[in-house]
Amino acid sequence: MPPPELTEEPEEEEWLVTYADAITLLMAFFVMLVSFSKIDLPMFEAVMAGIAQEIGMGKDKAVSSTQDVQTAIENATFEMQMEQVVDVYKDEKGIVIEMASTSFFKPGTAEIIPSAIPLIQNWGGLLIQDKFKYFFVNVAGHTDDDPINTPKFPSNWELSAARAAAVIRILEGEKVHPFQLQVTGYGASHPKLPNRDQAGNPIKINQEKNRRIVVHLIQMSKKEKEALDQVLLEERLAREERKRQLDMKARQKAVQDSLGNSGGATNAPQQHTAPAPAPAPAPAPAPAH
């Protein structure tokens, strides 16, 4: 009697269902984490720089643009010997430049002290460079809680906004594009430290620290960069068109001036005619005999 044929038993694959369910749940879990998370841009760039350096992408590519800007701002501040009144650091949005109002503004005014203007101009010169231009520049003014009531500044809201705008005007004067610039006046609503003690007495040292200007450099998204590039392109084309029209008008004026100076005269030689000879005198009548 021949041996029975050996039949291959099918493999059980029920485990695949459980595995697929587990993978799906893990994916959903991580999607939820990402949706609720808040991206820390400086930390992200630091991690990416470290990874790039480890895999040998080179020193230039390993350094992030925000780190470049922070280093450049710090160097400019140090060269102007104002590092004691300017604090530069990073937060979850980007780079923060904190300026003590007492060292940048005359008391109770939005007038910048002349010795502080070159530093802000230096920052503006950095922010128009190609590698640094893709940043929004949000300038926020802060005051203490001491009330102010003058014809120009009825309250601390106006004073804080005017001080921030004064910084913006200097940056704009250095050709930082208005597309990048933002002004915020917080008045005394966002103090770093308590302005007063529990008895309501002012804490002078805290009030001094609360009077400040905060410049926030926030890196643009890809869409925002494209929008800025489009604005710059349209402005360049408009300038070129204006220049073309001015050149055309200048050429037309030159032609008109040339025709006016010639007076319409021709270059043909002038012909001179000799005067007609005088008629001969009539003969005298013969005497009568």
Q: Where along the chain do its domains lie?
A: 41-219, 221-250
> What is the total residue count of the chain?
289
pLDDT value of residue 109? 94
User: 177: number of CA atoms within 13 Å, CB side?
Assistant: 20
pLDDT value of residue 48? 55
Output the average pLDDT for the chain. 83
- pLDDT tens digits for range 135-170: 999 999 999 999 999 999 999 999 999 999 999 999
Q: Which residues pair with 86 in a beta bridge?
A: 99
pTM over 0.85: no
- pLDDT tens digits for range 231-261: 999 999 999 999 999 999 999 988 888 887 7
The residue that leads in pLDDT, 86 or 5, is 86
pLDDT value of residue 202? 94
Helix 41-54 with 65-79: angle, nearest 10 deg? 110
CATH of domain 41-219: 3.30.1330.60
The residue that leads in pLDDT, 4 or 123, is 123
